[in-house]
Structure 1
Amino acid sequence: MVQLQTILKVSDNSGAKTAKCIKVLGGFKRKFACPGDLIVVSIQQLRNKSKILSKVKKGEVFKGLIIRTKKQIKKKDGLITFFNDNCVSLINKQNSPVASRIIGPVSRLLKCGKYLKFVTISAGLI
């Protein structure tokens, strides 16, 4: 679960390294976000190698799609999934990815949602 002020790893090739959650979208008093949910993030750090060629700048505000969380997710069939880190992928205003590639696997919850584009550009599903 991701809440306000959570530092997230950006796992795409947009040029950002870390981002901070500013707002959880999807409700008036919503406090937590799970994989597949949208949040508003601010870019905290950039990757060293791509500072010149980066698509984003430090301090910019983007929407982000949560693709991995440390919190365990239990399904009805008894399957429990969790990852080693909290990761987000950046989204532009047209709800399409800023990057052209997602590094690492994504949660299977994205497959049944409206974000099928993120599943196709990722490394795999878990």
Structure 2
Amino acid sequence: MIIKGSNFSVMDNSGAKKVQCIQTLGGKKPTSLLRVGDKIVVVIKKMERVTGVKLKVKKSDVCYAVIVKSKQKVRRQTGICVQAAENGVILLNKSKEPIGTRLTGIVFKEANRNSLLKNVSISKFII
């Protein structure tokens, strides 16, 4: 179940590792359940340790994000249920474009329902 306060792992190469949801976007109530493809506001909790490279975000920055995979089962119209081992997001800038240039891991097809085609197209593994 994904709600306000849930923790996510970051699926791109922006430099962040773990983030926490602080607000929902798109007219959803803060108490409502979130699904794959929803946009949220997150705060960065943990960063990657990289030396000599300038990272695109810093710890305790507030960013937009879109949910691309979840532990909660996602049921499709064909009757298939898919789920991941952890919750994952892609970080977005203020103009709702991805901060990272590469996605690591799998991305659910349902992440494309909010016209985020660029997010899905830069991923190698789409389930």
Return the TM-score normalized by structure 2: 0.91
d(CA) in 1 for partners of 2:25, 2:36: 13
User: Which segment is superposed worse, 104-113 or 19-28?
Assistant: 104-113
Work out the CA distance in 1 between the residues paired with 2:118 and 2:112: 9
User: Residues 79 and 90 from structure 1, CA distance in 2 versus in 1: closer, same or farther, beyond 3 angstroms?
Assistant: same
User: What 5-or-longer segments of structure 2 have no aligned partner?
Assistant: none
Give structure 1 stretches of 5+ with no counterpart. Answer: none
- State, as a whole percentage, how many aligned pairs show the same letter: 34
- The range that moved more, 62-71 or 22-31, is 22-31
CA distance in 2, matches of 1:50, 1:91: 24
1:21 matches 2:21: yes
Cα offset, 1:47, TM superposition: 0.4
> 1:92: which partner in 2?
93
Q: Which amino acid aligns with 2:7?
A: I
2:117 is matched with: 116
Number of aligned positions between the proteins: 126
**Which ranges of 4 or more aligned residues in structure 1 deviate by more than 4 Å?**
none
| Alpha-carbon distance in 2 for matches of 1:51, 1:3 | 36
Distance 1:8 1:16 in 2: 11
Preserved CA contact (<8 Å) 2:9 2:88:
yes
8 Å CA contact 1:24–1:32 kept in 2: the answer is no
Mapped partners of 1:89, 1:33: distance in 2:
15
Q: RMSD of aligned C-alpha atoms?
A: 1.6
| Deviation of 1:50 (Å) | 5.5
What is the CA–CA distance in structure 2 between the aligned matches of 1:79 and 1:40, rounded to whole Å? 30
Q: Do the aligned partners of 1:15 and 1:50 also contact (CA within 8 Å) in 2? A: no
SS of residue matched to 2:118:
helix
The alpha-carbon distance between structure 1 residues 51 and 65, as it changes in their structure 2 partners (threshold 3 A), is farther
Alpha-carbon contact 2:37-2:112 (below 8 Å) kept? no
